[in-house]
Amino acid sequence: MALADGLFMVGLPFIASQNFQNHWMFGDVACKVVMVLDGINQFTSVFCLTVMSIDRYMALADPLRFARWRTPRCAKIVSAFLWLFSLLTILPMALHFSADQGLCIPDLVSDTWWLGVLSYTFVMGFALPFMVMMGAYTALLLTLRSQRLRAMTPNQESQRLEQQVTKMVVAVVVVFGMCWLPFYTFNFCSLYQSGLVLNFARAFEFVVLLSYSWSCANPILYACLSDTFRKHFRTLLCSAAKSSPSMQCNTERYDLNDTTVRDVTLLA
């Protein structure tokens, strides 16, 4: 997912250049390549987050039952499938982009065709992933609450876990919706714009940048809401700093082999 987020940002300079100059200066081939790579990484990032919501449910709800599915080999297979599925999902639409009119824009066969394309990308890139995430996270929260209520004695650790997971679930869902829903909303509204007036065009550019900001949001969510991520990240930095005598690092509290702490990271 980190690779997809990083590569997704690669297309931003090209899009920004076109928006500022109101002209695509990189040629027709580059237009298609940028749109294909942009689409692949966009969908891969969203699909990875969706699969990770299911993985978090398996890890926290019943880790022993789903242990055989949560192996490095399975993760590599699923990751490869997501990249291939993203390519197949976006390729038909991305190849319809061209720079023949001086801008890297889709060739509009008809309004009906464009409505079909928008509906297709909305369902595959937002609606279905959003529904899966909501289902997985809702099931996770209900399972954690049920486990806590079934406990014979009050368990502060279980309650703390449930509260932290709830905060992260709300943050992930809200940020995902805020970054992507305006983008798709403006795309559908563009169907009813006979001519892109300046205000609408500027607002559309803003929501496009907002969708790109999704790729920057995950590390911020990690750092703010996940104790596990902070512990792993600090241990990683401290391991790298051991060779530097000028840096002191205390990893005493952050043992990655500690099996007494349950992983509550919802993002990866």
pLDDT in tens, 104-121: 888 777 778 888 888 988
pLDDT digits (tens, 9 = 90+) for 76-106: 999 899 999 988 888 877 778 888 778 888 8
**How far apart are alpha carbons 20 and 22 in whole angstroms?**
6
Under 8 Å between Cβ of 124 and 89:
yes
Fold of 2-241: Rhopdopsin 7-helix transmembrane proteins (1.20.1070)
Q: Is the pLDDT of residue 10 over 80?
A: no
pLDDT digits (tens, 9 = 90+) for 145-176: 887 777 666 667 666 766 777 777 788 888 88
pLDDT digits (tens, 9 = 90+) for 11-31: 778 888 887 888 888 888 888
pLDDT digits (tens, 9 = 90+) for 37-47: 888 888 888 89
What predicted TM-score, i.e. pTM, was given to this entire model? 0.74
Under 8 Å between Cβ of 5 and 38:
no
> What values do phi and psi take at 98, rounded to 5?
-150, 165
Q: Is the pLDDT of residue 263 over 50?
A: no
Under 8 Å between Cβ of 214 and 235:
no
What's the whole-number mean pLDDT along residues 58-82? 86
Q: Look at residue 81 in the predicted model and tell me its pLDDT.
A: 93
Give the residue with greater pLDDT, 214 vs 249. Answer: 214
DSSP conformation letters of the chain: -HHHHHHHGGGHHHHHHHHHHTS--SHHHHHHHHHHHHHHHHHHHHHHHHHHHHHHHHHHH-TTTTGGGSSHHHHHHHHHHHHHHHHHHHHHHHTTEE-TTSS-EE----HHHHHHHHHHHHIIIIIHHHHHHHHHHHHHHHHHHHHHHH-SS--HHHHHHHHHHHHHHHHHHHHHHHHHHHHHHHHHHGGG-SS--HHHHHHHHHHHHHHHHHHHHHHHHHHHH-HHHHHHHHHHHHHHHTT-TT-----TT--TT-TTSPP-----
**How far apart are alpha carbons 137 and 265 in whole angstroms?**
12
What residues contact 95, with CB distance under 8 A and at least 6 apart? 32, 36
Query: What confidence category does residue 267 fall into, taking pLDDT thresholds of 50, 70 and 90?
Result: very low
**Mean pLDDT estimate for the chain:** 77
